[in-house]
Chain A
């Protein structure tokens, strides 16, 4: 069965600092990989996804993630944090046999201080 591990339930950065949110997956076959952001009492917004092709994926709002098969990782980064980036971030995977159910990590709350 697939699983996702997000290291760190909370990550704190200063405005302008590098953002690094970690995600590792467990799957016998490399799955589709996703990063979502959630603001309070709202649904999920897709930041980026990896399905095939280039392993460095660029998403919205300056975020990017790199799929590393050897490390079974899909860490999310942003060079310079903004106050508006403060939110909950979820890494998720789905089976490559079509877009089946998503399995979510436990989430990481990003805190951005002035």
Chain B
């Protein structure tokens, strides 16, 4: 079946630094990638939607200059958390979809801890 590889699985970074999270669709073309954020014991909140070759569409309240999303190819999307702060610590999950009835495929998530 469809697989989305998300890396890294976990990362610890210092406050003020930037962190990049990658999601790759391994055996299909991801026309659309969704990026979610999940706080402990809470549900997934959509941060942004990106289509290959287009600028990402951010949900209300999400800082687009802080959470940079790039979807330059049909198999790779990245989320960069810029100038990270402790409040950015969270679990980030990507989800890819393709045209047709393929549905959604989720990455395994990235646990970000900012110290």
- Interface presence of B75 (CB below 8 A): no
- Nearest Cβ on chain A to B82's Cβ, whole angstroms: 23
Tell me which residues across on chain B come within 8 A of A44, comparing CB atoms. Answer: 44, 93, 95, 106
Interface residues of chain B: helix, strand, loop or mixed (majority): strand
User: What is the total number of residues of chain B having a CB less than 8 Å from a CB of chain A?
Assistant: 24
Residue in contact with B109 in the complex, picked from A36, A41, A99, CB distance below 8 Å = A41
- Which chain B residues lie closer than 8 Å to A94 at the CB level? 104
A90 CB–B CB distance under 8 Å = yes
Contacts of A57 in B (CB 8 A): none
- What 1/0 flags go to B1-40 for Cβ under 8 Å of A? 0000010011000000000000000000000101000000
We find that the number of chain A residues with CB closer than 8 angstroms to chain B is 21
* Interface residue A78 (Cβ < 8 Å from any Cβ of B): no
A77-114 contact mask (Cβ, 8 Å, vs B): 1 or 0: 00000000000001000100011011111110000000
Chain A positions near chain B (C-beta within 8 angstroms): 34, 36, 41-46, 49, 51, 90, 94, 98-99, 101-107
B contact set with A: CB distance below 8 Å: 6, 9-10, 32, 34, 42-44, 46, 49, 91, 93, 95, 97, 99, 101-104, 106-109, 111
